Structure 1
């Protein structure tokens, strides 16, 4: 008796120590640069998301986040702050919490975009079912919520608005 088993091809991901980094995305000198390899590691993106897919998702995430913070950033620049890191804020592990929150917002926007665009980024080869689609949509919304919270925390406004009608 013999058995021949066929498995899908394995996708090699780039380890953090790889001398050929994926690159960076920058929105100018005032904003922190986003390292694509660090984003890939933090958001658990495997090799199924190619650099050609990752780059536009991160560029859009940076543009969205910078757009949401543009008026606030202009005010800080008018105060003479040279970078986001120079804005007075709590330091956690030696880094401004504003920088960490900016990075979180970008990462979460990018991950939500990728989840919606590439429904097969975490598939196992089986066909998607309706409940999996709903789960994917809910996961994307949770990442968007986290990005919104990070932006609101930078702005110094509450995460939730409640109005009595």
Structure 2
């Protein structure tokens, strides 16, 4: 008689644990779906930003150096399990980015003496002139890549 009581208690415990495990699995599935939705929204927002910047650069509504800095940072922020090597896909854009990213911006630029700001502006403009054609040629490929995401 005692064995039957223990068996019943064991079955009840196993059923309770099974129900609890099922509930935890369901909650995990919901959490993964929420994370995927958030990742998809983030990707869509970044892709939209990239497309707007590319369009502005192609229409010369945005300075080439500012656009390149923004594009490279956005590409690196794209959520992906195994992101491609963007510096290989868009070598001139990344080469240009590395050359212009060393210049002072915002508050650091405002603190510079006027002569240093002018020197940096001239140097940046020279780099932009050197890379303009090559960078603009890579932008349609970047646009096409964004359309696949």
> TM-score w.r.t. structure 1 length?
0.26
Query: Larger Cα Rg: Structure 1 or Structure 2?
Result: 2
- Higher share of residues assigned helix: 2
Specify which structure has the bigger relative contact order, considering alpha-carbon pairs within 8 angstroms and separated by 6 or more residues.
2
- Higher share of residues assigned strand: 1
> TM-score w.r.t. structure 2 length?
0.28
